[in-house]
Chains A and B, each alone.
Chain A
């Protein structure tokens, strides 16, 4: 049972344009959602998060939108840069998550073409 789904395994965009990465979840107990970026042969690095009580969080070029009723979130990167090319993982954290059990999606490979 996949609780976090990233249905697009890959996405290709042109430099300067917007990248939109999508994520769906099934677990209503998720309280926070986090996005991680991963380069080859490196561990994931934290990018941005959003609490379930919010519908938007913005940090520079990165904005995460949460539609709780649709159990859907998306990461917007604008403008996209070639250095953004990486695998992006969406993760959910349930309420009472003191033990921090993140549930990850399969990831989406973003390629930003110069």
Chain B
């Protein structure tokens, strides 16, 4: 089945530093990738939609200058949390949609997530 690889799975960083999270589709091409954030006991909240070769679309309330998204190829999207603060500590998860199977109800493929802890 389709695999989405997300790296790193866990990262601890100091306040004020930046962290980059990678999301790769391993056996399919994804023109669109999605970045979610999940706080404990909360639902997965969509942060932004990443489109290959164009600017990401951010959800309301998500700071685009803080959460930089780059989707440079059909298999890679990155999320950079800039100047991280403790309140950014969360579980970040990416998902991708197979370009060749992009029916409206085709399921997303998720990465395993990144647990970010900012100290």
Contacts and interface: CB of A to CB of B under 8 A. Distances in A.
Interface of A: 2, 4, 9, 31-32, 34, 36, 41-46, 49, 51, 89, 93, 97-107
Contacts of A99: 32, 49, 57
**Interface size class of chain B, counting residues whose CB lies under 8 Å from the partner chain:** 20 to 34
Given A31-B104, A49-B107, A93-B105, A102 B46 contact: yes
Contacts of A101: 46, 49
Given A41-B112, A44-B110, A89 B44 contact: yes
B43 A106 contact: yes
Given A43-B4, A89-B43, A102 B104 contact: no
B4 A97 contact: no
Contact of B108 (A41, A100, A106, A107): A100
A41 B9 contact: yes
B95 A105 contact: no
A47 to B, nearest CB: 9
A51 B106 CA distance: 11
Interface string B34-49: 1010000111111001
A46 B108 contact: yes
A100 B44 contact: no
Interface in B2-22: 4, 6, 9
B97 interface: yes
Q: Which of A31, A43, A101 has the most CB of B within 10 A?
A: A43
Interface in B98-115: 104-105, 107-113
B30 to A, nearest CB: 11
Given A43-B112, A101-B49, 20 more contacts: A4-B43, A34-B105, A36-B110, A41-B112, A43-B93, A43-B111, A43-B113, A46-B109, A51-B105, A89-B44, A93-B105, A99-B49, A100-B32, A100-B34, A100-B97, A100-B108, A101-B46, A105-B43, A106-B41, A107-B43
